[in-house]
Amino acid sequence: MIILSKLADYGVIVATHLAANPARQLTAAAVADEVRLPHATVAKILKALAHAGLVAATRGAGGGYRLARDARAITVAEVVAAIDGDIGLTQCSVHVAECTRTDYCPTRPHWTAINRAVEQALSAVSLDAMLTPAHFAPRHPAPSAHSAAN
């Protein structure tokens, strides 16, 4: 099973929440309460997203966080990379120096292509698209007259 880290998953939730509220500047505590995640976790996520330039932070009494760019211009891949770093499905994909099998592994070259495909798939999905549940609904062809008769 391929899974994102829990923090990256939460990062997408937090970023999508900010995308759903583009006119509001939200504090970390408000985001945490609204998405029902621990305050410390949300603060850590927002700090990472701000460091990556995906959210803008304003200090002071009226301060808070908002997306740094339009939700259509921020991809899920960017959010995941801000939290987890480079997207790689295997340890050797990201940390080549740590793998002792690099010189003779028959699968290593293929992981590069697989990682690229996953990164492209995540890059094709914007935060704006994550706001529209029907965006990802499977499209079933309309039943033909022939299949309706059977």
Domain edges within the chain = 6-128
Q: Which residue has the higher pLDDT, 135 or 103?
A: 103
Q: What is the pLDDT of residue 124?
A: 94
Give the model's confidence band at 109: pLDDT under 50 very low, under 70 low, under 90 confident, else very high.
confident
Provide the CA 138 distance to its chain's centre, in angstroms: 21
Q: Could you count the other beta carbons within 10 Å of the beta carbon of residue 45?
A: 28
What average pLDDT score do residues 126-138 get?
78
What is the radius of gyration, based on Cα positions, of the chain? 20
Q: What is the pLDDT of residue 89?
A: 75
pLDDT in tens, 90-102: 766 665 666 777 6
**From its phi and psi, is residue 85 left (phi > 0), alpha (psi between -120 and 50) or beta?**
left
Q: Which residue has the tokens 């770093």?
A: 85
Q: What is the pLDDT of residue 134?
A: 63
Instruction: In whole angstroms, give the CA distance from residue 120 to residue 125.
Output: 9
Which residues make Cβ contacts (< 8 Å) with residue 97, sequence separation at least 6?
none
State the CATH class of domain 6-128.
mainly alpha
Q: What is the pLDDT of residue 13?
A: 96
The pLDDT mean for the chain works out to: 85
pLDDT in tens, 26-71: 999 999 999 999 999 999 999 999 999 999 999 888 889 999 999 9
Burial pattern 12-37, b for ≥16 Cβ within 10 A else e, equals bbbbbbbbeeeeebbbbebbbeebeb
| Model pTM above 0.85 | no
Reported in sequence order, the residue ranges of 2-116 that DSSP labels E, i.e. its strands, are 55-58, 64-67
Give the model's confidence band at 137: pLDDT under 50 very low, under 70 low, under 90 confident, else very high.
low
